[in-house]
């Protein structure tokens, strides 16, 4: 035994390191369980909707109008109305939000006015949707004379989602390296030419992130459109921005609380909710596809 070589313990794990590895494994397991607990409700909800509403999600359900007190028929007017409202909100919120973000990021100095604007944006993001609805009634329906219409509802949704667009766009603009701007200025470009040809093209993916968040929120809101442009039931799909329309979110509320469905039509709210989720996913998929394509063009 005396002839055996001594064991090299230079790289052996000490007791302290073993305890540290045990703590690391424990926290990793804790974070894994937390993530699963967050995902589990979503999976259960989607599973419930798919089981209860999926079998009734037919082409006729998507293309027919409601009838028999909304118990029969389909959701075509609500589906088209949701597209109208979301498109109108995007048409107002995205240009205004991007313009405000460009001013705050590229032109504004750090002074009292800028800090007040930033504080207002943060506070606006925390205002309850019912307050936005009352503002929409007073500002767009009454003061501007839009009436109870798609235009008034879209403007209300735009005001509610403006902070999301502004914050996402500003963060994306500030992520563009300053060296890009300095290189453009050194070649004689003006500040606006630099923003238009250098900064905005390199921040498009971040701006689309804000658009995705706007779509997700605008499609699912009920209170802002209930008082400004959405109706319980209309005879036809809208022809202009000054018409009223049905919407999937309000239609879901109506068939869940205002219509006596009975056991034969208990599936209806689940089908409407499933359609609403699929609409959100479809709109987001388009924006995500464009964002991925823009990210693929980046050289930095």
pLDDT digits (tens, 9 = 90+) for 120-159: 888 888 888 899 999 999 999 999 999 999 999 999 999 9
Residue 60 domain-assigned? Answer: no
Q: Considering the domain boundaries, does residue 12 fall inside one?
A: no
Predicted pLDDT at 10: 58
Domain presence at residue 288: yes
Comparing CA positions, the residue from 230, 293, 264, 183 lying closest to residue 86 is 230
Position 256 in a domain: yes
- Residue 62 belongs to some domain of the structure: no
Question: Whole-angstrom Cα distance, residue 279 to residue 273?
Answer: 10
Q: Higher-confidence residue: 32 or 8?
A: 32
Q: Tell whether 47 is covered by a domain.
A: no
User: CA angle, corner 292, sides to 287 and 296, nearest 5?
Assistant: 150
Predicted confidence band at 39 (pLDDT cuts at 50, 70, 90)? very high
> CA 243 to CA 234: how far, in whole Å?
10
Rounded to 5 degrees, φ, ψ at 73 are 80, -150
Query: What backbone phi and psi angles, to 5 degrees, belong to 67?
Result: -150, 170
Decide: residue 147, CB within 10 A, 0-12 exposed, 13-18 middle, 19+ buried: middle
Question: Does residue 20 lie in a domain region?
Answer: no
Q: Look up residue 188 and give its DSSP letter.
A: T
**Model confidence over 224-239: pLDDT tens digits?**
999 999 888 887 888 8
Are 189 and 199 in contact, with CB atoms under 8 Å apart?
no
Number of domains in the chain: 1
Q: Which domain holds residue 160?
A: 69-296
Residue 6 lies in a domain: no
SS percent in the chain: helix, strand, coil, step 5: 75, 0, 25
Whichever domain contains 247, its CATH number is 1.10.3720.10
What is the chain's mean pLDDT, rounded? 87
């Amino acid at each position: 035994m005396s002839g055996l070589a001594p064991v090299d313990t230079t790289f052996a794990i000490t007791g302290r390191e073993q305890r540290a590895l045990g703590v690391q494994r424990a926290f990793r397991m804790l974070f894994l369980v937390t993530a699963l607990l967050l995902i589990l409700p979503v999976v259960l909800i989607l599973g419930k909707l798919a089981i209860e509403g999926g079998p009734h999600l037919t082409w006729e359900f998507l293309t027919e109008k409601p009838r028999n007190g909304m118990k029969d028929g389909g959701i075509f007017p609500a589906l088209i109305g949701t597209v109208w409202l979301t498109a109108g909100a995007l048409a107002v919120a995205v240009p205004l939000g991007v313009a405000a973000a460009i001013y705050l990021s590229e032109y504004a100095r750090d002074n009292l006015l800028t800090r007040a604007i930033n504080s207002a944006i943060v506070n606006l993001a925390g205002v309850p949707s019912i307050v936005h609805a009352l503002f929409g009634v007073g500002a767009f329906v009454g003061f501007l004379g839009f009436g109870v219409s798609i235009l008034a509802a879209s403007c209300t949704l735009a005001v509610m989602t403006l902070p999301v667009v502004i914050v996402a766009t500003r963060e994306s603009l500030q992520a563009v390296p300053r060296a890009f701007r300095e290189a453009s200025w050194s070649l004689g470009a003006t500040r606006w030419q630099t923003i238009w040809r250098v900064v905005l093209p390199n921040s498009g993916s971040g701006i689309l992130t804000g658009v995705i968040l706007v779509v997700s929120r605008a499609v699912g809101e009920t209170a802002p459109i209930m008082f400004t442009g959405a109706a319980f039931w209309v005879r036809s799909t809208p022809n202009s921005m000054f018409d009223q329309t049905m919407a999937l979110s309000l239609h879901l509320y109506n068939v869940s609380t205002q219509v006596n469905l009975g056991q034969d039509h208990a599936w209806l709210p689940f089908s409407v909710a499933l359609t609403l989720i699929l609409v959100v996913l479809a709109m987001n998929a388009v924006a995500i596809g464009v964002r991925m394509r823009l990210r693929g063009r980046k050289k930095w």
